[in-house]
Amino acid sequence: MSSGSSDGVAVVLVAAGSGTRLGADLPKAFVRLAGRPLLRWALDQAFGVSADNELQRVVVVAPATHVRQAQALLTDKEREFVRVVAGGAERSDSVAAGLAALADCDAVHVLIHDTARCLAPAELFDRVLAALRGGDEAVVPGLAVTDTIKLVDKAALVTGTPPRASLRAIQTPQGFTRGAITRAHAHGAQATDDAALVEALGLPVRVVPGAASAFKITEPDDLDRAERLVRTDARKGAR
Ligand code: C5P
């Protein structure tokens, strides 16, 4: 995979979530989809990036209790450039732990990806990277929303209705220049995605078209949807 090229790509795969909402008795990254752990699916999708986007390093951020189990999912060849580190209490803590594992890596672009979106296709990684190579500092995949979205207050009263045409449901992988994502995470700030921390720096964040299959596996129904998708793809010989 990597020869240490100076414009290389690093991927941080956050996989330290609990899986509580999935009703699983083990961390979500180790729940099986068509017989394989979600983390293994996510790794395989990421490794499918085009040769132009050579991965210099992949960091898997695993639950502190499951670092060895995550390492055991890697092939000998993968162990040469994949590092497994322990995550933190919140998603942003896990991302920060992943970024710390890039200290000795000179990749200039960093993709941060939720293992829970384990069917996000390699083309989506390539699309985000293409925008970064085009000069953007922060790039996120997004889909148009079909529901009308309301803002509500704590008393469940509607405070506003943003125009639907200006809304996007944001996915991962989210891509950043090394400088932008390092600054965004420099002070331990928390957010539900990394782009929000970059926005807080005042930097522009570009949205590129997302992918339906990059949905997040959160509830049991999501896992059923993923099983159906994988079965359909297997019938078509796509995976
Ligand atoms: O909890 P949520 O579904 O938003 O998690 C999104 C991603 O962040 C998942 O892949 C999960 O494993 C990861 N995560 C993490 N560390 C946490 C919480 C979530 O790596 N403390």
- pLDDT score, position 122: 97
CATH T-level fold of 9-139+169-238: Spore Coat Polysaccharide Biosynthesis Protein SpsA; Chain A (3.90.550)
How far does the centroid of ligand 1 lie from the alpha carbon of residue 237, in Å? 30
- Whether 176 and 198 have beta carbons less than 8 Å apart is answered as yes
How far does the centroid of ligand 1 lie from the alpha carbon of residue 18, in Å? 8
Whole-structure pTM value:
0.95
Query: Looking at ligand 1, which residue's alpha carbon is closest to its atom 5?
Result: 17
Atom of ligand 1 nearest to the CA of 13: 10
Atom of ligand 1 nearest to the CA of 95: 20
- Whether 37 and 115 have beta carbons less than 8 Å apart is answered as no
- CA dihedral sign, ordered 192, 35, 214, 169: negative
Q: What is the pLDDT along the chain (239 residues), one digit of tens a residue?
A: 544 444 799 999 999 998 888 988 899 999 999 999 999 999 999 999 998 888 999 999 999 999 999 999 999 999 999 999 999 999 999 999 999 999 999 999 999 999 999 999 999 999 999 999 999 999 999 999 999 999 999 999 999 999 999 999 999 999 999 999 999 999 889 999 999 999 999 999 999 999 999 999 999 999 999 999 999 988 887 65
Tens of pLDDT, residues 6-30: 479 999 999 999 888 898 889 999 9
Atom of ligand 1 nearest to the CA of 117: 10
How far does the centroid of ligand 1 lie from the alpha carbon of residue 115, in Å? 8
What angle (nearest 5°) sits at the alpha carbon of residue 39, between those of residues 5 and 80? 35
- pLDDT score, position 239: 54
Write out residues with Cβ below 6 Å of ligand 1.
Answer: 14-17, 28-29, 61, 87-91, 94, 114-116, 216, 218
The one-letter code for the residue type at 197 is L
